Amino acid sequence: MELSFPKKPFRTHGGAAVPHRKHTAQIESVVMPAPAEVAIPMQMHVGAPCTPLVKPGDLVTVGQKIGDSKAFVSAPIHASVSGKVKAVKKIQLSSGGYGDAVIIESDGKMEPCPDLKAPEVTDLKSFLQAVHDSGLVGLGGAGFPTHVKLNVPEGKTVDTLIINVAECEPYLTADNREALEDSANVLDGVFTVKKMLKLSRAIIAVEKNKPQVIEKLNGLLAADSRNSDHSVGVLPLKATYPQGAEKVLIKACTDRTVPMGKLPADAGCIVMNVTSVATLAAYLKTGMPLVKKRLTVDGGAVKDPKNVIVPIGTYIRDIMNFVGMKTEPAKLLIGGPMMGMAAPTFDAPVQKQNNGLLFLSEEESHIPEPSACIRCGRCVQGCPMHLMPTRLEEYVKARDVEALQKFDVMDCMECGTCAYNCPAGRPLVQAIRLGKGLVKAGGAKK
């Protein structure tokens, strides 16, 4: 059935009016010189970790595969600098956990791997193989292997591709700059995915607080002969949080609801981050896999906030020195302030799925003491998933796994809207995470 392009976004539930603080939106990205050393983790994705394919003393070049796995849900890993493998060892990651990493001493030449060439794509099978070989994962933060996402399960019908340019988290502008600075690859990727998966339409979803992106992509699409049927278009969205969350975005773009516990494909949609689709297009042209990442570096401790393009595996401390600090950061967040995670060390490396580093000042890091719940209901009103966060918090305290499952704790996407809206400052997201842990330990819902 032929699908029409939505004239305006559909109504979504809940959310929060967070401050935008997009300080770096108008600043062109800067490429950081090759660092002296990188540490490339062997797991930067959802799924099985990779096994190192190199050993200390080996010489490597940019784009050379240095880690891989035979598991379907995994993604190969490539060298981001040229140089010599110094070590293969466990390191502490920004999550606080430890994992294997390949340490490469850079020769400063950034010499590309001589074996790289554009993949030959003739059908869906060769396309999905190329996506796998690119090492691409969801670059919006999820880290889900893209070749798995694009492999639509048998029996499911997908007709709509949604490109996520919402970037609703405060501070973050990396996707905004990707859409402006790499627009041609964005559209090439959109048309390629739409063609290979035989989709009816592609909706590029952009919040209205990014007028330059809307204007630029609309202009390019108007002059693009591939869009004579107008099946690809830009849909301006209301600038609200969490507009960029997958299930919220699907509702806003299609008026479809992803059932509890199900995936976007169950609503006939595939959602891709804008940087992911541009990276895929670049790989199909050059054969250069995912080896670099654009990051928004901001926060009260940063001297000169900007978007920086760095080799994957660059130490966060090196980025601090490159950008410059005006004061010692009190806290480092990986990602935005709503869904980002506090990092325990500045010596962790940048990973594929990272899109922002927020170095917060002492004042920004202050967390007020929570008080008793006043039953105002703002957490329930704001929850885009129609959950009841305070009730879930109570069930966590009671360690009532059955009740946690009954009230769908596993469907919480941890957007933080409930905690942001709570006037009592209740740590609701932390409680829900504990609840998820209890459910996992107690077994899945039957």
361-369 long-range Cβ contacts below 8 angstroms, 24+ apart: 361/299, 361/300, 361/301, 361/327, 361/329, 361/330, 362/330, 363/300, 364/299, 364/300, 364/330, 364/331, 365/330, 365/331, 367/425, 368/425, 369/425
Task: Please say if the pLDDT value at position 402 is more than 80.
Answer: yes
Phi and psi, residue 179, nearest 5°: -65, -30
Quick one: which H or E segment has residue 248? helix 246-254
Give the pLDDT score at 77. 98
Task: Name every residue whose Cβ is closer than 8 Å to that of residue 209 and which is 6 or more positions away in sequence.
Answer: 20, 22, 239
pLDDT in the model for residue 1: 56
Give φ, ψ of 353 to 5 degrees: -85, 0
CA-based nearest residue to 305, from 325, 331, 328: 325
Q: How far apart are CA 69 and CA 75, in angstroms?
A: 7
Token code pair at residue 279: 């990276």
Q: Could you tell me if 340 and 360 are in contact, meaning their C-beta atoms sit under 8 angstroms apart?
A: no
Query: What is the three-state SS of 302-313?
Result: ECCCEEEEEECC
pLDDT tens for 24-35 read 999 999 999 999
172: left (phi over 0), alpha (psi -120 to 50) or beta: beta
338, 429 Cβ separation under 8 angstroms? no
Question: Which DSSP string do the residues of 205-232 spell out, in sequence order?
Answer: EEETT-HHHHHHHHHHHHT-GGGTT--E
The DSSP element (H or E) to which 401 belongs, if any, is helix 401-406
Residue whose C-alpha is closest to residue 413's, from 382, 442, 371, 391: 382
pLDDT tens digits, one per residue of 243-282: 999 999 999 999 999 988 889 999 999 999 999 999 999 9
Structure confidence at residue 446 as a pLDDT band (50, 70, 90): very low
Is it the case that residue 237 has pLDDT exceeding 70? yes
Residues 417 and 241 sit within 8 Å (Cβ to Cβ)? yes
Q: Per-residue confidence at 443, pLDDT binned at 50, 70, 90?
A: low
CA 102-76-95 angle, to 5 degrees, is 60
Q: How confident is the model at residue 142 (pLDDT cuts 50, 70, 90)?
A: confident
pLDDT of residue 2: 64
Pair 306, 29: CB distance under 8 Å: yes
Alpha-helical segments (H) within 85-232: 124-133, 146-149, 174-181, 183-196, 211-222
Does residue 391 contact residue 407 with C-beta atoms inside 8 Å? Answer: yes
Average pLDDT, the chain: 95
Task: Write the pLDDT tens digit of every residue in 98-135.
Answer: 999 999 999 999 999 999 999 999 999 999 999 999 99
Q: Shortest CA distance to 93 belongs to which of 276, 416, 273, 332?
A: 332
CA distance 165 to 189: 14
Beta-strand runs (E) in 224-375: 232-237, 269-273, 292-298, 306-311, 331-334, 341-342, 356-360
Strand partners, 293: 310
Q: Answer yes or no: is pLDDT of 179 > 60.
A: yes
Per-residue confidence (pLDDT) for residue 3, from 0 to 100 = 79
Contacts of 67 (CB under 8 A, 6+ apart): 40, 42, 50, 51, 52, 53, 76, 77, 102
Angle made by CA atoms 119, 125, 150, in degrees to the nearest 5: 95
In which region does residue 111 sit, left (phi positive, over 0), alpha (psi from -120 to 50) or beta (all else)? beta
Q: How far apart are CA 356 and CA 176, in angstroms?
A: 12
389-397 and 428-442 are packed helices; what angle lies between their axes, rounded to 10 degrees? 60
161-176 pLDDT, tens digit each: 999 999 999 999 999 9
Residue 246, CB half-sphere, CA atoms under 13 Å: how many? 26
Alpha-carbon gap, residue 261 to 385, rounded angstroms: 11
- Nearest alpha carbon to residue 313 among 106, 75, 22, 54: 106
Q: How far is CA 92 from the centre of its chain?
A: 21
The share of the chain scoring above pLDDT 70, in percent, equals 99
**Is residue 445 over pLDDT 60?**
no
